[in-house]
């Protein structure tokens, strides 16, 4: 078995890892053709990564121009603890205010760590929704790694 295959995460391990982490890096093609990197909060919906951003943000404008994005979520400080996953995706932008608001509530609930948000928070999301876009990332290719799977003392 190759070292690459040894450290690859299963689908279930990737889902667990993504549920445990909080921030992903989203790479798009900027207006001058250079990669544009931006942190995003995210949720998983039916195995897909979703996020939201301001409609006029650079990443949203980039995805309108070219819907390709690479996402990365990583963790670990020492080599033998490194974990991560990258996804090459096509981004689908959803502009419907009700879709955006529903996602915003889901995101805020996840990051606030509460199943139900206070009314004031829900109202705040509804006020933000018209200025935002929901990003659905459709996975095309994946790479993952979990160095904790390596035998002790390899590096």
Q: What is the mean pLDDT of residues 99-111?
A: 96
Render pLDDT for 29-85 as a digit per residue (tens, 0 to 9): 999 999 999 999 999 999 999 999 999 999 999 999 999 999 999 999 999 999 999
Rounded to whole angstroms, how far apart are CA atoms 9 and 118?
37
From the options 2.60.40.730, 3.40.50.300, 2.40.160.60, 2.30.110.10, give the CATH code of 3-149: 2.30.110.10
- Residue 153's pLDDT is 57
Q: Taking 60 as the threshold, does the pLDDT of residue 154 lie above it?
A: no
Rounded to whole angstroms, how far apart are CA atoms 137 and 119?
29
Residue ranges per structural domain of the chain: 3-149
- Residue 8's pLDDT is 95
The alpha-helical segments, DSSP class H, found in the chain are 3-7, 11-20, 58-65, 97-112, 119-128
More confident residue, 116 or 95: 95
Q: What is the mean pLDDT of residues 4-16?
A: 92
Render pLDDT for 106-153 as a digit per residue (tens, 0 to 9): 999 999 998 888 999 999 999 999 999 999 999 999 999 999 998 875
- Residue 151's pLDDT is 84
Nearest to 79 by CA among 148, 4, 17: 148
- Residue 30's pLDDT is 96
């Amino acid at each position: 078995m190759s070292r690459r295959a040894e450290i690859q995460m299963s689908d279930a391990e990737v889902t667990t890892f993504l549920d445990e982490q909080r921030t992903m890096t989203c790479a798009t093609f900027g207006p001058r053709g250079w990669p544009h990197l931006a942190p995003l909060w995210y949720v998983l919906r039916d195995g897909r990564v979703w996020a939201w951003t301001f409609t006029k943000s650079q990443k949203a404008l980039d995805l309108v121009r070219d819907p390709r994005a690479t996402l990365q979520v990583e963790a670990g400080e020492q080599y033998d603890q490194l974990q991560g996953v990258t996804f090459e995706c096509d981004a689908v932008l959803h502009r419907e205010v009700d879709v955006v608001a529903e996602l915003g509530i889901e995101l805020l609930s996840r990051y606030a760590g509460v199943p139900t948000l206070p009314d004031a928070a829900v109202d705040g999301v509804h006020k933000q929704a018209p200025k935002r876009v929901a990003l659905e990332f459709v996975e095309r290719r994946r790479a993952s790694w979990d160095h904790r799977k390596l035998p002790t003392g390899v590096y």
